[in-house]
Structure 1
Amino acid sequence: MTGKARASALAFVAILGTGSPIEATEGRRWTIENIAIVPTDFDLRLASDGRSLAYLERRADIETDKSVSILHLYDLDSHRSREILRAPSAEQLRRLPDGRGWSLLIDRGDGLQLYKLDARGTLTLLLKREAVVTVGQTEGGLFAVRSGAPRRIGILYHDWSPDGRWLWYATLRPRPEPLAMSIDATVVAQRYRRRAPVKATVELRLRSAAGEEWLVASRPAQDRLAFYYGANVQWTREGPRYQLEQGDAERSGGTGTFIWSFATGSSHPAEQEPGFPSIGLVSGPHGGVLASEGFGRELDLTETRPDGRKIHYGPQPYYIGDPRAAGNWLANDGRKAVLGVRTIPHPRYGLVLLGSRKVKPLLVAGSLTACDFRQDLAWGVCVEESLNQAPRLVHVAPESGEVRALASLSSVHESIAPLRVTAHEWTNRLGYRSTGFIVWPRDYQQGKAYPAILITHGSDADERFASPDLQWNYPAQLFAERGFLVILQNDPSARQQAELWNAYMEWSGGPGVLGPSRLRELIWLNGVYSFEDMIHELVGKGIIDRERIGIAGYSRGSQMVNVAVTQSTIFGAASSGDGNYLEPASYADPKEGYHAIFGGPPSGRHLASYRQLSPSLRAEKVCAPVLQQMASPFAGAIDFYTALRDAEVPAQISLYPGEDIATDETHLFHIPSNRLRAMRENMAWFDFWLRGRRDPNMAPISTYDRWSTMAAQLRDCSRPPSALQPEPS
Structure 2
Amino acid sequence: MMKLLAVGLAALSMVSTAGEPRAVGVDDVVQLRRIVETRSSPDGRRVAMVVTEPSVADNTVTSRILVADGGVTRPVTAAIGRIANLRWSPDGTSLDYLAPLDGADEIWRVPAAGGKPGKPVDFAGPAVEIGGKHEPFRLANIPPHRAKILAFDWSPDGRSLAFTTPRPGGRPVDDGVAFDERTMDLRTLETGEFDLVRNGLWLFDAKTGRSRHVFDSIMGPVAAPGKPGMAWSPDSGKLAFVTRETQQPTDNRDTLRILETASGGLSTVDAGGARVLATWSPDGQSVLAAKPDQLVALPGGAVVATLPAGTRVSGSAWWLGDRVFAELADARHESLFAAPTAGSLAPVSTADGTLATCSVGTAAFCVKESASARPRLSFVDLRTGAVRDGFDPNPGFGRVRLTTPEPTASGYQLVPEACRQTRCPVVVITHGYDATERFMPDANEWQYPSQVFAAKGYVVLLVNEKPGIQDPVPTMEAAVRDCRFADPARAGIMGYSRGAFVAEEAIARSTFFKAASAGDGGSPSLIEGSGQTTEHVNAPLLQQVGPAAGWLTLSIHQFVKSKKVPSELMLFGDETHIFHQPKHRASAMEQNLAWFDRWLRG
Q: Is the 8 A contact 1:282 1:291 kept in 2?
A: no
Equivalent in the alignment of 1:125: 119
In the alignment, structure 1 residue 631 sits paired with structure 2 residue 546: yes
Q: Tell me how far apart the structure 2 counterparts of residues 373 and 188 of structure 1 sit (CA, whole Å).
A: 38
Q: Conserved in 2, the CA contact under 8 Å of 1:136 and 1:142? A: no
Residue 256 of structure 1 contacts residue 269 of structure 1 at CA under 8 Å; is this kept in 2? Answer: no
Flag structure 2 segments of 5+ consecutive residues without an equivalent. 1-18
Q: Deviations over 1:444-497 (max 9, x none)?
A: 34341111111111322111111111111112111000100111111223xxxx
> Against the structure 1 CA distance between its residues 447 and 58, is the aligned structure 2 distance closer, same or farther, given a 3 Å change threshold?
same
Specify the alignment match of 1:201 in structure 2.
Answer: 198
* C-alpha deviation, 1:655, in angstroms: 0.4
Per the TM alignment, residue 319 of structure 1 is displaced from its structure 2 partner at its CA by 1.6
CA contact (8 A) 1:284 1:303 kept: no
Matching of residue 164 in structure 1 with residue 184 in structure 2: no
Q: How many residues align?
A: 570
- Structure 2: which amino acid aligns with 1:125? K
Q: Deviations over 1:22-54 (max 9, x none)?
A: xxx962220110011012352011222344321
Q: 1:151 to 1:549 in 2, by over 3 A?
A: same
- Please state if 1:470 is matched with 2:444: yes
Does structure 1 retain, via aligned residues, the 8 Å contact 2:228–2:276? no
The partner residue of 1:684 within 571, 588, 594 is: 594
Q: CA shift at 1:93, angstroms?
A: 0.7
Match of 1:352 among 337, 348, 352: 337
Contact 1:285/1:355, CA 8 A, preserved across alignment: no
Q: Please list the CA deviations of residues 48-103 of structure 1 after superposition, one character each: whole Å capped at 9, or x if unmatched.
A: 23443211022312232112222222232x42333622121110111222232321
CA distance, structure 1, for counterparts of residue 165 and residue 94 of structure 2: 23
**Contact 2:505–2:525 under 8 Å retained in 1:** no
Output the CA distance in 2 between the equivalents of 1:310 and 1:396: 26
1:534 aligned partner: 479
Q: Does 1:402 align with 2:347?
A: no
2:244 and 2:344 map into 1 onto residues whose CA distance is: 37
Corresponding residue number in structure 2 for 1:661: none
SS at match of 2:521: coil
* Aligned equivalent of 2:53: 59
Distance of 2:303 and 2:266 partners within structure 1: 30
Q: Return the letter of the residue paired with 2:440.
A: A
**Contact 1:318-1:341 within 8 A present in 2 as well:** no
Specify the SS of the correspondent of 2:454. Answer: helix
In the alignment, is the contact (CA less than 8 A) between 1:205 and 1:217 conserved in 2? yes
Question: CA-to-partner distance for each residue in 1:252-301, whole Å, 9 max, x for gaps?
Answer: 69654444333433x43434378x984358888996867676xxxxxx66
- Write the mapping of 1:298-317 to structure 2, written as runs, cut at 5 A: 310=303, 316=308
RMSD: 3.3
Give SS of 2:437's match. coil
Query: Structure 1 residue 420: deviation in Å?
Result: 1.6
Change (3 A) 1:114 1:545: same
1:369 shift after superposition: 2.2
What is the aligned counterpart of 1:181 among 176, 184, 196?
A: 176
SS, match of residue 408 in structure 1: coil
Q: Which of the pair is proportionally richer in helix?
A: 1
- 8 Å Cα contact 2:544/2:570 also seen in 1: yes
Q: Give me the whole-angstrom Cα distance separating, in 1, the residues matched to 2:526 and 2:489.
A: 32
Greater mean alpha carbon deviation, residues 458-467 or residues 94-103:
94-103
SS at match of 1:33: helix
Whether 2:513 is the aligned partner of 1:571: answer yes
Percent identity among equivalent residues? 24
Cα–Cα, structure 1 residues 225 and 562, in superposed 2: closer, same or farther, change >3 Å?
Answer: farther
CA shift in 2, pair 1:245/1:273, >3 Å: closer
The 5 A counterparts of 1:657-696 are 657=573, 664-692=574-602
Q: Is the 8 A contact 1:158 1:168 kept in 2?
A: yes
Shift of 1:647: 0.5
Distance in structure 2 (CA, Å) of the matches to 1:279 and 1:292: 9
Whether contact under 8 Å (2:413, 2:459) holds in the other structure is: yes
TM-aligned CA distance change 1:645 to 1:301, over 3 Å: same
Residue identity in the other structure for 1:627: L
Structure 1 counterpart SS, 2:447: coil
Q: Which amino acid aligns with 1:458?
A: G
Give how far 1:581 is off: 5.6
**457 and 51 in structure 1: CA distance in 2 versus 1, 3 angstrom threshold:** same
Q: Is structure 2 residue 358 aligned with structure 1 residue 371?
A: yes
Name structure 1 gaps, 5 residues minimum: 1-24, 294-299, 426-434, 494-499, 501-521, 587-601, 612-616, 658-663, 693-729
Q: 1:254 to 1:484 in 2, by over 3 A?
A: closer
8 A Cα contact 2:160 2:204, kept in partner = yes
Question: Helix, strand or coil for the counterpart of 1:683?
Answer: helix
CA distance in 2, matches of 1:282, 1:128: 28
SS at match of 1:456: strand
- Aligned residues of 1:133 and 1:142 also touching (Cα < 8 A): no
1:130-168 CA distances to partner (integer Å, 9 max, x unpaired)? Answer: 453122448x87552143443211211101222222111
Q: What is the one-letter code of the residue matched to 1:668? A: I
Q: Which amino acid aligns with 1:180?
A: D
Mapped to 1, the partners of 2:249 and 2:456 lie a distance apart of 46
The 5 Å alignment of 1:117-266 reads 117-122=110-115, 123-130=117-124, 131-137=126-132, 144-176=138-170, 177-183=172-178, 189-190=185-186, 193-199=189-195, 200-210=197-207, 211-220=209-218, 223=219, 225=221, 227-228=223-224, 232-236=229-233, 239-249=238-248, 255-265=254-264
Separation (CA, whole Å) in 1 of partners of 2:222 and 2:345: 35
Q: Is the 8 A contact 1:128 1:154 kept in 2?
A: no
Residue type of the alignment partner of 2:339? L
Contact preservation (8 Å) 2:544, 2:571: yes
Matched, 1:88 2:3: no
CA contact (8 A) 2:160 2:206 kept: yes
Q: Which amino acid aligns with 2:412?
A: F
* Alignment partner of 1:655 out of 548, 571, 576: 571
Counterpart amino acid of residue 518 in structure 2: S
The residue aligned with 1:485 is 459
The 1:382–1:150 alpha-carbon spacing in structure 2 relative to 1, beyond 3 Å, is same
Cα distance change on mapping 1:248 and 1:383 into 2, 3 Å: closer
**Native 8 Å contact 2:305 2:340 kept in 1:** no
2:311 partner letter: Y
Contact 2:230 2:278 in 1 (8 A): no
Which of residues 390, 403, 412 is equivalent to 1:437?
412
Structure 1 residue aligned with 2:313 = 321
- Aligned partner of 1:13 in structure 2 is none
Secondary structure in structure 2 of the residue aligned to 1:642: helix
Name the structure 1 match of 2:8.
none
In the TM superposition, what whole-angstrom CA distance separates every residue of 1:586-607 from its partner, at most 9, and x where no partner exists?
9xxxxxxxxxxxxxxx7xxxx7
Could you tell me how far 1:387 is from its partner in structure 2? 1.9
Partner of 1:15: none
Letter paired with 1:244: T
Write out aligned runs for 1:404-423 (5 A).
404-423=388-407
1:453 aligns with 2:427: yes
Q: 1:224 to 1:528 in 2, by over 3 A?
A: farther
Whole-angstrom CA distance in 1 between matches of 2:238 and 2:95 = 23
The question of whether the paired residues in 2 share the 8 Å contact of 1:68 and 1:89 is answered with yes
Distance 2:76 2:262 in 1: 44
> What is the letter of the counterpart of residue 515 of structure 2?
A
